[in-house]
């Protein structure tokens, strides 16, 4: 995708230290840029282009799903607040381990909700629990791929622009959000027919 001739791209050793979080991505780094240059970078190939476009997909999915009554549920609104906090913490973290730790609160919240469902304190569609397990599995697997930095760890330089662990993690998170949506829709359909116990 080359719609605009961008600046000369940098190698890992010459890029600012705050961008040196994946030593297996060797080339294609943008130089320090102004806001206007950052916008222009949407139209030429560099090693963050896939990350930028996959980041852009998440807000579009959230806005699309926001049109449904799903997000009026308290637990899901809390989930989104924790997700936003986690993303903020992850973007300010300097290492992959610190980035992963930023999502601990979100993971704990989801695990507590899962325990409520499994041990009968919480209710919902029996079919939705499977969707939520898939959702969490995709999210955890995406985080691990990003931390371990595969596949670029095995062939440094080959995945500089496309297919690196950060992009794989983004795609897995997008799939995870879709499973969250499907599980929540399943619960909402179930709750229409659910009768509360009288005693």
**Concatenated DSSP letters of 168-195:** HHHHHHHHHHHHHHHHHHHHHHHHTT--
* Max CA distance (Å), the chain: 72
Q: DSSP character for 41?
A: G
Model pLDDT, residue 23: 93
Model pLDDT, residue 44: 92
Model pLDDT, residue 84: 55
Q: pLDDT by residue (tens digit) across 70-123?
A: 444 545 575 555 555 555 555 555 666 666 666 677 778 778 878 888 887 777
What residues form the annotated binding site? Answer: 166, 170
Which residues make beta-bridge pairs with 10? 29
Model pLDDT, residue 71: 45
What residues form the annotated binding site for Zn(2+)? Answer: 166, 170
Mean pLDDT of the residues in the chain: 80
CB 41 within 8 A of CB 33: yes
Tell me how far CA of residue 198 lies from CA of 53, 57, 112, 177, 195, in angstroms: 51, 45, 26, 35, 9
Compute the distance between CA of residue 127 and CA of residue 134 in angstroms, rounded to an integer: 12
Residues of the chain with pLDDT under 70: 1-3, 58, 61-76, 78-103, 199
Compute the distance between CA of residue 121 and CA of residue 152 in angstroms, rounded to an integer: 44
Model pLDDT, residue 112: 83
Three-class secondary structure assignment of 80-138: HHHHHHHHHHHHHCCCHHHHHHCCHHHHHHHHHHHHHHHCCCCCCCCCHHHHHHHHHHH
All structural domains of the chain with their residue ranges: 56-192
């Amino acid at each position: 995708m080359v719609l605009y001739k961008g600046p000369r791209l940098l190698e890992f050793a010459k890029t600012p230290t705050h961008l040196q979080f994946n030593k297996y991505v060797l080339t294609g780094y943008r130089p320090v840029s102004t806001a206007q240059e950052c916008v222009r970078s949407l139209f030429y190939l560099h090693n963050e282009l896939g990350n930028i476009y996959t980041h852009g997909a998440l807000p579009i999915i959230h806005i699309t799903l926001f049109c449904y009554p799903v997000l009026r549920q308290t637990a899901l609104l809390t989930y989104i607040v924790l997700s936003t906090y986690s993303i903020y913490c992850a973007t300010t973290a300097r290492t992959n381990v610190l980035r992963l730790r930023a999502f601990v609160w979100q993971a704990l919240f989801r695990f507590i909700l899962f325990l409520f469902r499994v041990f009968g304190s919480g209710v919902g569609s029996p079919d939705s629990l499977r969707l939520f397990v898939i959702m969490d599995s995709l999210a955890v697997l995406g985080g691990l791929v990003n931390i371990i930095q595969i596949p670029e760890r095995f062939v440094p330089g080959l995945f500089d622009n496309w297919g690196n662990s950060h992009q794989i993690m983004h795609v897995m998170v997008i799939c995870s959000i879709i499973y969250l949506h499907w599980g929540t829709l399943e619960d909402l359909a179930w709750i229409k027919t659910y009768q509360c116990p009288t005693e």
